[in-house]
Amino acid sequence: MKKDKKRYDVEVTDSGFANGISTQLAQKIAEAGNTGVKLTQEEKDVIVEEAAIHFGSFLTALGVEWEGDPNSSDTPRRVAKAYVNDLWKGRFEPLPDVTAFPSDGYDGIVQESNIPLTSMCSHHHQTITGRVSVAYIPGPNGQVVGLSKLNRIVEHFGRRGAIQEQLTVAIHSAIHKICEGNVGVAVQIDAGHNCVSCRGTKHQGASMQTAKLSGNFRQDSNIRAEFFNNIAIASRNK
């Protein structure tokens, strides 16, 4: 069976926007004419140094004498590193190559439910944590992708600033492009927002559900019901 390793342009927004890739990576891609290029460690270090200077100024503006406080003196660099290496990792790295396989006649739902999500809202820079469930239906001559690629897509777009609605669309769009020939894609996110529980109304325990359905998931109520029922089954088996 021939494996097909490809790179897809899955970006759905302008670079530099809170849910897009960083302007530094976008510039490097433009210069190389290749979406597979990566920022070097040295280039990431420059971003960390620059961001640390500005976060130090942010603390100073809040009246924190961080430079003389042993617990805070390295905080600007720590925060900058956390953004670049973890919280916003998906802004600084390209999506890994995806290997696709012929679907070989399988025409049912391919679904992965309850993928852990750690993200951040671009309104308040507070964390969003929850679960993402994704599914697609390969077409007659369509292709399937390795299961872990679905997890990687969620990580890639989750590890950026976004609002949950944008994140739902971004994950849906990427799966739609990568699973060529599909006849339906479904994405559902159930997540709690720290900006709701820790500020503003301070309501603990509230969660937000969003869903983006296309193709047969949108047109056929039985297939739609199967998707949501699969999430319920997976949740019971956790």
Is position 123 an interface residue for Zn ion (rule: CB under 5 A)?
yes
Is position 124 an interface residue for Zn ion (rule: CB under 5 A)?
yes
Is position 191 an interface residue for Zn ion (rule: CB under 5 A)?
no
Is position 223 an interface residue for Zn ion (rule: CB under 5 A)?
no
Amino acid at residue number 205? G
Size, binding site for Zn ion by CB under 5 A:
4
Q: Is 97 helix (H, G, I), strand (E, B) or coil?
A: coil
Q: Which residues pair with 144 in a beta bridge?
A: 101
- Cβ proximity to Zn ion: between 51 and 195 the closer is 195
Which residue lies nearest Zn ion, judged by its C-beta? 195
Rounded least distance, CB 190 to Zn ion, Å: 16
Segment near Zn ion (CB under 5 A); pick from 23-31, 60-68, 173-181, 194-202: 194-202
Of the candidate residues 51, 195, 208, 211, the single one contacting Zn ion (CB under 5 A): 195
Nearest of 180, 178, 182, 181 to residue 213 by alpha carbon: 182
Are the C-beta atoms of residues 24 and 15 closer than 8 Å to each other?
A: no
Are the C-beta atoms of residues 110 and 182 closer than 8 Å to each other?
A: no
Of the candidate residues 52, 121, 175, 178, the single one contacting Zn ion (CB under 5 A): 121
d(CA 209, CA 131): 10
Q: What is the DSSP letter of 197?
A: H
- Cβ proximity to Zn ion: between 124 and 177 the closer is 124
Rounded least distance, CB 124 to Zn ion, Å: 4
Cα–Cα–Cα angle for 72, 75, 81, nearest 5°?
Answer: 170
Rounded least distance, CB 171 to Zn ion, Å: 19
Is position 125 an interface residue for Zn ion (rule: CB under 5 A)?
no
The neighbour count for residue 55, using CB atoms within 10 Å, is 18
Rounded least distance, CB 194 to Zn ion, Å: 8
d(CA 223, CA 111): 12
Binding site for Zn ion (CB under 5 A): 121, 123-124, 195
